[in-house]
Structure 1
Amino acid sequence: MSAAPEPAALNLSSIADRFVAGASIRRITPLGNGNVNDTFLVEPHDSGGEAFVMQRVNTEVFRSPERVMHNLLRVSRHVGDKLSSSPEALQGRRWEMPRVIRLRHSNGHWVEDQGDFWRGISYIGAAVTLDVVESNEQAREVGYGLGMFHHLISDLPADELEDTLEGFHITPQYLQRHAEVLKQHARALDRQEQDCQNFIAARSGSVSVLEDAKARGELQLRPIHGDPKVNNLMMDADSGNAIALVDLDTVKPGLIHYDIGDCLRSGCNPLGEETTDVDQVSFNLERCAAILEGYLSAARGFMVDADFHYLFDAIRLIPFELGLRFFSDHLDGNRYFKARHQRHNLQRARVQFQLCASVEAQEREIRELIEQLR
């Protein structure tokens, strides 16, 4: 990770003052549990004031944060324009799009301070997030939330977005990078590490399935979220309805299969991705059905036969890909993903590989489900 100062050592108030008058700030507190950026909630003294989210963007991950902001502004304006006309697809439901906060004394949208890159984003109130999907009703809402986001951006030309993370979700490139890390790894692998390596080696020949389909023209580039795990979906605190998809740094041109696969990876593991009970991890088929039903209720209109054909491949590939990334980072000294202990990313990798194995064991049932939902 970056060698930037710890957030506690920063003068957060002086940064927040660039977005809103410092005298009006009541408190600044950490928000969320993201693996990449440092995020804070800035709350006003005045009950009529607007709380907002302030983030320090990790420039070790997002090396061109200005391009990230270009995408965020482009997508938020595109969706905001649609929401202003109460689109029929929402059927009167609440849906919100995070807005970028302007600086107080200029037309800019970010602060560069002592090598750090800060931005402000509107806070979505009366909402909660989930770390684990606990019911089929929640699962349908998770699917609906991703489907509605895809629907609202489906007519945004993909070439109007910057590719802010080149190689992101390109599994063959992660595999190549892993081989380089493994080659440089000094010590012998222990048993758990060797099990992970064996799992990777056994599947290395099939990791290019989606990229190959894209190269053949079967799958098309579209605007995608890039990281639609369950806790990036906001749910209305009263109704439980999905109302927003947040954490938009990874928005870019890509395959919707990456988003669908990641959403199912996150939503169909009842134990969650941080569990230590690795052997009990499984892919819940009922949750999968509910998420896909919710997704298609909002997104079916722009999907074509080829999109359905490659859904199973996406469901299998994305947990494998994340497990590969976690394991590579473990071997590389935990440089990318924040880790609470030395073997944290190894534990995370084992969870994802177990989830992938569970998907593979239920291939027939998952393919039948996809056919039923077409």
Structure 2
Amino acid sequence: MIQAPISERSAAMAGPGSGSVDQQGAQLRRIAARFDLGGAIAAIEPLGNGNVNDTYRVTLSGDPARRFVLQRLNTTVFPHPERVMGNIAALGNHLEGRLAQEAAGPGRRWEVPRLIAPLGAEKHWLQDGNDVWRLTTFIEGAQCLETVATEAQAWQLGFGLGTFHRLLSDLPIEALADTLEGFHITPAYLAAYERALACSTAASCEELSFCQAFVAERSALAGVLETAKDQGVLRLRPIHGDPKVNNVMLDAASGAAVALVDLDTVKPGLIHYDIGDCCRSGCNPLGEETKDWQAVCFDPGRCEAILAGYLNAARGSLTTEDIAYLFDAIRLIAFELGLRFLTDHLQGDVYFKTREAGQNLDRALVQFQLTASIEAQEEAIRALIERLR
């Protein structure tokens, strides 16, 4: 989620239900009014460009105007919203308790999006027909980036994830439900891809053939982290699940990391999936949606800055074995996301939102090119990891 309005065209595509823009606006106001806002609604506008949920910013009347984030959950992706919402509530309570005990540091703040309950309801979400809605607080004075422009921003990206992991390090994984079984289990994604490939009717093309060959050459990589987990080398911890660049919020004035948002994917998992995803997202200067996929390159300088920031915040919670698997995580997550985009393309774009035909195939090409760039720089990346130990 990015805290900036998207275009009206994108808003119309993402809007709930069918009908005119006015009808959609009326529906959104009706939904928002069923939450405990504490004031009159002045405006509701689309927020961000997420690939899964529909997201809106709700602004109340008043000076200063209070703002909230209204989201309709994609229940195809999250078929058990009660688990998602339970995790977000448990995480919020834990983080607020930790923040009450310690300061974020000189000149820093750290915030947690908190759930706002529907009026007269005991649960933290609203069921409206087949739709599930939630409302959270808005992180004021902060912004998200689509791509990292400087190593200073990369450092903050890593520091934000490290802070999140450190604050959750004493939350028992038993307190969290597995909201997405199989999520970030790369061998399962490989198996899903093979099933999709066997029955796909997607039109053959040079790019698709390239992707298929790329996966075939690297299928043995899929189990590296899961094997280490099964052997007891790596252990489960609370993870964010999707800590890409635009899910880390930076203070608009200082540039310091202040929050992680989009918490649907919080669950027990390997922190390596988070670290790898953070590096995958932050070290691709061209971004995930570039059409110039052949020019995609992994930036080791930004990788070093991300890991330095991360370790500054979370070094004490890592083992020697954790650090030994950092390169594997960085390479694997780019490959895994490419595999997921490719599978969705073969299945007819049923998971990730698309704006045009072939977009998920384009996204897969970007991630596979990023994987190849990581592999070509393995020696340098392993050396920078060693320097940071």
What TM-score do the two structures reach when normalised by structure 1?
0.96
Q: Which residue of 1 aligns with 2:43?
A: 27
Shift, 1:108, TM fit: 2.8
Task: Find the residue that maps to 1:234 and give its secondary structure.
Answer: strand
CA contact (8 A) 1:283 1:358 kept: yes
Q: 1:371 is matched with which residue?
A: 386
2:335 maps to: 320
Q: Deviations over 1:293-350 (max 9, x none)?
A: 0000000011001100110000000010000000111111111000111110010000
Does the C-alpha gap of structure 1 residues 23 and 4 become closer, same or farther in structure 2, counting only changes over 3 Å? closer
Structure 2 Cα separation of the partners of residues 21 and 3 of structure 1: 21
1:62 paired residue number: 78
- Report the 3-state secondary structure (helix = DSSP H, G, I; strand = E; otherwise coil) of the residue aligned with 2:264: helix
Written as runs of structure 1 = structure 2, the 5 A alignment for 1:159-170 is 159-170=174-185
Match for residue 154 of structure 1?
169
> 2:36 aligned with 1:17, yes or no?
no
Q: Quick check: 1:5 aligned with 2:22?
A: no
Deviation by residue 1:241-279 (Cα, 9 ceiling, x = unmatched): 000000000000000000000000000000001101111
- One-letter amino acid of the structure 2 residue matched with residue 129 of structure 1: C
Residue type of the partner of 2:201?
Answer: A
Distance 2:366 2:34 in 1: 42
Q: CA deviation at 1:105?
A: 2.6
Which secondary structure state, in structure 2, belongs to the residue aligned with residue 182 of structure 1? helix
SS at the partner of 1:53? strand
The one-letter amino acid of 2:84's match is V
1:6–1:368 Cα change, 3 Å:
farther
Q: Secondary structure at the match of 2:126?
A: strand
Residue 369 of structure 2 is aligned to residue 354 of structure 1? yes
> Residue type matched to 1:93 in 2?
R
Quote the Cα distance in structure 2 between the aligned partners of 1:62 and 1:91.
Answer: 38
Hey, what does 2:6 align to over in structure 1? none
Q: Distance in 2 between matches of 1:333 and 1:3?
A: 21
Q: 1:343 to 1:46 in 2, by over 3 A?
A: same
* In 1: Cα distance, 2:302 partner to 2:56 partner: 32
Cα offset, 1:24, TM superposition: 0.5
Amino acid at match of 1:102: A
* Aligned twin of 1:229: 244
CA contact (8 A) 1:2 1:60 kept: no
Q: Could you tell me how far 1:21 is from its partner in structure 2?
A: 5.9
- Is the partner of 1:208 in helix, strand or coil? helix
Matches of 1:3 and 1:334 in 2, distance apart?
18
Could you tell me how far apart the structure 2 residues matched to 1:321 and 1:155 are? 28
TM-score by length of 2: 0.93
Alignment of 1:12-161 (within 5 A): 12-20=28-36, 24-85=40-101, 87-88=102-103, 90-91=105-106, 93-161=108-176
Task: Check 1:282–1:21 CA distance in 2 against 1; reply closer, same or farther (3 A cut).
Answer: closer
Structure-2 residue corresponding to 1:172: 187
- Is 1:323–1:352's contact at 8 Å kept on the other side of the alignment? yes
Query: Is structure 2 residue 223 aligned with structure 1 residue 208?
Result: yes
- Cα deviation, residue 107, structure 1: 3.4
How many pairs are equivalent? 373
In structure 2, what is the Cα distance between the partners aligned to 1:251 and 1:161? 8
Q: Which residue of 1 aligns with 2:235?
A: 220
Unaligned runs of 5+ in 2: 1-12
Q: Secondary structure at the match of 1:337?
A: coil
Q: Is the 8 A contact 1:2 1:59 kept in 2?
A: no
C-alpha spacing 1:292/1:42, structure 2 compared with 1 (3 Å): same
2:362 maps to amino acid: Q
Q: 1:2 to 1:340 in 2, by over 3 A?
A: closer
User: Which residue does the alignment assign to 1:331?
Assistant: 346
In the TM superposition, what whole-angstrom CA distance separates every residue of 1:204-255 from its partner, at most 9, and x where no partner exists?
0121000000000000000000000000011000000000000000000000
Contact 1:14 1:22 in 2 (8 A): no
SS at match of 1:207: helix
Q: How far apart in 1 are the matches of 2:43 and 2:257?
A: 28
Kindly indicate whether the alpha-carbon contact (under 8 Å) linking 1:235 and 1:242 is maintained by their aligned counterparts in 2: yes
- Please report how far the alpha carbon of residue 48 of structure 1 lies from its aligned counterpart in structure 2 after TM superposition: 4.3
Q: Of the candidates 306, 315, 322, which is equivalent to residue 291 of structure 1?
A: 306
1:187 positional shift? 5.3
Q: Assess, with a 3 A threshold, how the Cα gap between structure 1 residues 103 and 152 changes in structure 2: closer, same or farther.
A: same
